Structure 1
Amino acid sequence: MLSTRIERILLNPRLVLGLYVLLTIIVTFQHYFKGPTSYNNYLIFVKPYFNLLEGKNLYLPYPEYYDDTYKYSPVFALFMAPFALMPNWLGLLAWNALNNAVFYTAGRRLFPDVRRQLLFLLLCLIDMMTALHNSQANCLLVGLMLWTFINLENQKYGWAALCVALAALIKVYGIGIGLIFLFYPLPIRNGIIAFAWMALLAFSPLLVVSWVDFRMIYQGWFDIVRESATGIQLSLMGVLETWFGVAPTAKGIVQGIGMLLLLAPLAYFRAWREADYRRLYVASILIFVVIFNQMAESPTFIIAVAGFMFWFILYRRSTPLGWALFALAFIFTTLSATDLNPPAVRHAYFDVYKLKAVPMILAWVFIQSQLLLYPRWRARLRAAAEASAAEPEQAVLA
Structure 2
Amino acid sequence: MNGLTNILSFFNHKFFRKEKTVFFFWIITGIAYAVIKILIGKYNNYKIFKYVFPHAVDGLTLYGDHPEYYDSNHYGIVFSLIIAPFSILPDWLGMILWITANTLFLFYAIKQLPLTYNQKIFIYWYAYIELMTAQGVQQFNISVAAFIILSFVFIEKKKDFWAACVIILGTLIKIYPIVGLAFFFFSKQKTKLILSCIFWTVIFFALPMLYTPGADYVISQYVDWFERLQIKNALNTFALSQNVSLLGLVRKISGNGEYSNLWLIIPGLILFFIPYLRIQQYKYLHFRLMLLANILLFVILFSTGSEASGYIIAMIGVAIWYLCSPSIHKKYNYRLLIITLIVVGLSTTELVPSFIRSGFIRPYVLKVWPLIIVWLTICYEMIFLDFSNKDSSQSLR
**TM-score, normalisation: structure 2:** 0.90
2-side partners of 1:198 and 1:255: how far apart?
27
Aligned residue-pair number: 381
Kindly indicate whether the alpha-carbon contact (under 8 Å) linking 2:160 and 2:193 is maintained by their aligned counterparts in 1. Answer: yes
1-side partners of 2:356 and 2:217: how far apart?
48
* Equivalent residue letter for 1:218: Y
Map 1:18-97 to 2 at 5 A.
18-35=24-41, 38-62=42-66, 64-97=67-100
Kindly indicate whether the alpha-carbon contact (under 8 Å) linking 1:243 and 1:353 is maintained by their aligned counterparts in 2. Answer: yes
Kindly indicate whether the alpha-carbon contact (under 8 Å) linking 2:325 and 2:381 is maintained by their aligned counterparts in 1. Answer: no
1:118 aligns with 2:121: yes
CA change 1:86–1:170 in 2 (3 A) is: same
The structure richer in helix per residue is 1
1:183-225 per-position Cα deviation (integer Å, ceiling 9, x unaligned): 1212232132123213311222111222222222221112101
CA change 1:16–1:343 in 2 (3 A) is: same
2-side partners of 1:61 and 1:247: how far apart?
27
Kindly indicate whether the alpha-carbon contact (under 8 Å) linking 2:52 and 2:80 is maintained by their aligned counterparts in 1. Answer: yes
Please name the residue that 2:240 is paired with: none
1:227-258 per-position Cα deviation (integer Å, ceiling 9, x unaligned): 11222221111111233455453212211221
Q: For structure 2, list consecutive stretches of 5 or more residues without a partner in the other structure.
A: 238-242
C-alpha displacement of 1:55? 1.2
Please name the residue that 2:311 is paired with: 301
1:260-279 per-position Cα deviation (integer Å, ceiling 9, x unaligned): 22122212223223212211
* Equivalent residue letter for 1:222: F
CA change 1:383–1:269 in 2 (3 A) is: closer
Residue from 7, 10, 14 that aligns with 1:8: 14
Kindly indicate whether the alpha-carbon contact (under 8 Å) linking 2:144 and 2:176 is maintained by their aligned counterparts in 1. Answer: no
2-side partners of 1:184 and 1:15: how far apart?
35
1:342 aligns with 2:353: yes
Map 1:1-398 to 2 at 5 A.
3=9, 6-35=12-41, 38-62=42-66, 64-208=67-211, 209-230=213-234, 231-232=236-237, 233-245=243-255, 247-315=257-325, 318-319=328-329, 320-373=331-384, 377-378=385-386, 381-385=387-391
2-side partners of 1:257 and 1:5: how far apart?
40
1-side partners of 2:380 and 2:195: how far apart?
31
CA change 1:327–1:112 in 2 (3 A) is: closer
1:89-130 per-position Cα deviation (integer Å, ceiling 9, x unaligned): 111011101110011112222244222211110111100000
C-alpha displacement of 1:79? 2.0
Corresponding residue SS for 2:65: coil
Kindly indicate whether the alpha-carbon contact (under 8 Å) linking 2:48 and 2:69 is maintained by their aligned counterparts in 1. Answer: yes
Instruction: Give % identity.
Output: 24
Q: For structure 1, list consecutive stretches of 5 or more residues without a partner in the other structure.
A: 389-398
Kindly indicate whether the alpha-carbon contact (under 8 Å) linking 1:237 and 1:248 is maintained by their aligned counterparts in 2. Answer: no
**Greater RCO, CA 8 A, separation 6+:** 1
CA change 1:215–1:268 in 2 (3 A) is: same
Kindly indicate whether the alpha-carbon contact (under 8 Å) linking 2:326 and 2:389 is maintained by their aligned counterparts in 1. Answer: no
* Equivalent residue letter for 2:280: R
CA change 1:266–1:346 in 2 (3 A) is: same
